Structure 1
Amino acid sequence: MIQTLLRYRFLFFLFAASLLLGSCKLGKHYTRPQLELPETLDSLSVDTTSIGDYAWEQLYTDTTLQALIRKTLTYNKDMLIAAARVKQLAAQKRIDYANMFPQVGLRVYGEHERENYGGDHVSMDDQFDLKGTVAWELDLWGKLRWARDRSVAEFVGSVENQRALKMSLIAQVAQSYFELVALDNELSIVKKTVDARSESLHLARIRYEGGLTSETAFRQAQVELARTATLVPDLERQITLKENEIAFLTGEYPHHINRSVLPEDVMFPVSLPVGLPSALLERRPDVRQAEQALIAANASVGVAYTSLFPNIALTATYGAESDLLSELLKSPHHLITGTLTQPIFAMGKNRARLKAAKAAYEQALYAYEKVVLNAFKDAYNAIAEFNKIKEIYETRLRLEQSSKSTLELAQLQYMNGVIGYMDLLDAQRGYLDAQISLSNAIRDKQITMVNLYKALGGGWKE
């Protein structure tokens, strides 16, 4: 009885010592790298608010586009893969967390054995066991806690990756949609131009047959009609490819995509809030994902470092064992063991593992800095485009209006014989180019807003 009390007292003190030592966590704790960030993102704004804080429904008001985005976020295969990845790492996080606690098991064993070592000496050697087991690796140096921190960082990183993917998909669907609408508008412009070229050819035929113009003007009218007509199938091909691209993003097979018509113009406010540089690090999920990868790499260094120290594992077994099943519960059994494992010689494997973990951390650090640089490059490019796209649109609008007036005047003068067909042809070509250029400017205004919204980390919520 006294020996049993002494044994349990020893276990109590060992358990208390393990709890005290468990507070020790060797290794360098993570701190965010010091980055020399720019003071502002936009010289015209120092407001802390940002368009990136808006919900994407507030930015993309076209209900058809909203339906496509919602379908993409639900059925896109990359989104489904990312969601499954989050589930996987959530389970892995739970595993590493459970490793910090004692593992309890139950062992039920029965053996019926008949022995005969020659002659008639037959004997029975049965055995029956019923035992409960407890195994616990003491986390004296913080190895298990570093492993838990790593799995937590990897899990959070997968969540940030899912958010970054959501941000990218919203931008990709919106851009493809605006490009599709612009292609529709360009096709409409070309078809109207083909009709106008047909009328010009008819007029050129009449004037040629009437002896008012040479055959050269008539043949040139035929060439221009054929040249413009070749644009139609190419645009139809581009439209089909763009529809297939959007269908793929939404997780569907190729089919016709419903869309609205190109607006006459996209109205922009004088300026948009872009927020402060430091907030960009918190708002963009790709930056946050890169930081979580850095945190995980730092935890891996902690795991490798603490692996250089001894491991202590406790094992306890309590139950009963007997050679007769009827006597099983009358035969108590208990066993308590402690194992200390200290690496002594492994040809430098453990220290090499630590060096490899440190090198991996260095890579993650540079990767994080690269992502931050890329985030600021995206933001500055998007802001520069936003500040200039309005001016580009206005100049192309004036060009389109001037080209239209020039064409109307050229048609009147050609009908009255003041100018030749080549002059009319130049005016027609100029007006077609100006119309397409203006359509592209409207498209670019919409895409500029998409790029700015994405660059500032818009498109997802906590």
Structure 2
Amino acid sequence: MYKFRINGGIGLLSICLAIASCKVPAIISTKENRSVPDSYGNNRDTTNTSDIEWRKFFTDQNLISLIDTALKNNQELMITLQEIEIAKNDIRFRQGALLPTVGVRAGAGVEKVGRYTSQGAGDASTEITPGKEMPDPLTDLTIAAYANWEVDIWKKLHNAKKAAITRYLSTVEGKNFVVTNLVAEVANSYYELRSFDNQLVIVKQNIELQKNALEIVKVQKEAARETELAVKKFEAEVLKSQSMEFEILQNIKETENKINFLLGRYPQEITRDKSNFLDLLPPAVNSGIPSQLLANRPDIKKAELDLAAAKLDVKVARAEFYPSLGISAAAGFQAFKPSYLFKTPESLLYSLAGDIAAPLINRNAIKAEFNSASSRQLQAMYNYERTILNAYFEVSNQLSNISNLEKSYDLKSKQVDALTRSIEVSNDLFKSARADYFEVLMTQRDALESKLELIETKKQELNAVVNIYRNLGGGWK
């Protein structure tokens, strides 16, 4: 049995479909703004700190070990890696659409028609062999291979594949951005933890000073040189400092847990050096020039790739207005009896068909998809420009922050030195009755606050350097 079909009049049909498809909306012309200032100020040096690998940028081995663990176990990073796998599979899916679909089909059926029908009467008069009529009921056995293929004449499928590849590259940059933020977050939390350790030491030292002053006041009260009011004031100050000690202990616990969470593990003590926090020197920073942000910042590169993918999506949506060409084919065997199934050429079955189809009336759905794709392209363009603008301001703010913190730290260091000396002076004056207890209390309080502020400024200084390293695009290489 032969079966062969080729659609006739394809040329005439193509002309009609082309006329029907002539009113295709134009692609919106977009030109993203990639311009950035020439420099962040007077500096035009192209040396950029972001080129330094994070293992060399950070020198504290305890911190390096923590970052290593975070990069292996952090759940957010693991989630991002799975997004990359999803993007890979989307590429495979788009690649498959470019190739013919080939399958095998096997089927069996039975049909009984009425004898007093046109089909039944015709079957009754048919003889397969002399003296043998068509069997009734009639069985149908089929074994065939089939193929379907959409010819990508408008590059719709190719553009969809390119968009999938671009989005895969975007997810890679997204992973790099997560790594950059993770490295910075672990480093900032580590320096915060060390600052709390140093604050705890300062508060404990201050408690001892206040206790000594309290004993002196008690002795002077016994000698009728001071009143009970002075004793209670000093006791209250000791209790206040002791309460502050427990607040710092709670901050230490929460910061340790925060670091452990970033490392993807349950609470445990964070190994670190608890001394010499104020002696830490932040690494030198070279900001380079703003145009380097376009190549160094993963979030900018991700936004750029998202924009490229959105442009390809518009081309894919626009191609839906044009005619599509589909080709289908089949080849196999068909018979009503198993013994006849593989007899050739009688049982041979084959078909070949070409179809051209295009939307003619009620194209609202594809119009809506095209308009949505165009809007998403504009969104991606604005997001790209905003990402560049935000990156520049982040770097600019941190450069200013580093400069101001350096000056502030120098002044606060001098303030701490002066107030530390004033404690000894106020104690000596108090013992010789040349200063009252209130002056001693205020001197101790001011000295404590200045020391804690100095530690806080040092932490901010270290965090600012970490942040500028991240903002310049460092930490993921």
**Equivalent residue in structure 2 for 1:90, among 88, 91, 114:** 88
Q: Which amino acid aligns with 2:330?
A: T
Matches within 5 A, 1:271-286: 272-286=285-299
Over aligned residues, Cα RMSD in angstroms?
A: 2.4
Cα distance in 2 between the residues matched to 1:33 and 1:364: 10
Secondary structure of the residue that 1:99 maps to in structure 2? helix
Matches within 5 A, 1:13-162: 33-44=32-43, 46-107=44-105, 109-111=106-108, 113=110, 115=112, 123-162=136-175
Cα distance in 2 between the residues matched to 1:116 and 1:31: 65
| Aligned residue pairs, count | 435
- Residue 267 of structure 1 is matched in structure 2 by 281
Cα distance in 2 between the residues matched to 1:238 and 1:447: 17
Matched, 1:390 2:416: no
- Residue 417 of structure 1 is matched in structure 2 by 433
Matched, 1:453 2:469: yes
Q: Which amino acid aligns with 1:398?
A: K
**Equivalent residue in structure 2 for 1:350, among 361, 366, 369:** 366
Cα distance in 1 between the residues matched to 2:423 and 2:251: 29
Cα distance in 1 between the residues matched to 2:380 and 2:102: 38
CA deviations over 1:196-217 (Å, ceiling 9, x no partner): 2111111111110121222222
Secondary structure of the residue that 2:278 maps to in structure 1? coil
Query: Post-superposition shift, 1:412?
Result: 2.0
Secondary structure of the residue that 1:38 maps to in structure 2? coil
Q: Which amino acid aligns with 1:263?
A: F
Query: Post-superposition shift, 1:28?
Result: 6.2
Q: Which amino acid aligns with 1:96?
A: R
Contact 1:30/1:295, CA 8 A, preserved across alignment: no
Query: Post-superposition shift, 1:35?
Result: 2.6
- Residue 18 of structure 1 is matched in structure 2 by none
Identity %: 27
Matched, 1:370 2:386: yes
Q: Which amino acid aligns with 1:334?
A: Y
**Equivalent residue in structure 2 for 1:442, among 458, 470, 474:** 458
Report the CA distance shift for 1:154/1:27 in structure 2 as closer, same or farther (over 3 A). farther
Matches within 5 A, 1:221-240: 221-240=234-253
Unpaired stretches in structure 2, ≥5 consecutive residues:
7-24, 116-123, 125-134
**Which has the bigger relative contact order, CA under 8 A and spacing at least 6?**
2
Q: Which amino acid aligns with 2:77?
A: M
Matched, 1:406 2:404: no
Matches within 5 A, 1:184-263: 184-261=197-274, 262-263=276-277
**Equivalent residue in structure 2 for 1:315, among 317, 328, 331:** 328
Query: Post-superposition shift, 1:429?
Result: 1.1
**Equivalent residue in structure 2 for 1:170, among 183, 201, 205:** 183
What TM-score results when the alignment is normalised by the length of structure 2? 0.86
Q: Which moved more, 1:320-329 or 1:50-59?
A: 320-329
Secondary structure of the residue that 2:107 maps to in structure 1? strand
Cα distance in 2 between the residues matched to 1:106 and 1:67: 56
Query: Post-superposition shift, 1:265?
Result: 2.4
What TM-score results when the alignment is normalised by the length of structure 1? 0.88
Unpaired stretches in structure 1, ≥5 consecutive residues:
8-25
Report the CA distance shift for 1:336/1:30 in structure 2 as closer, same or farther (over 3 A). farther
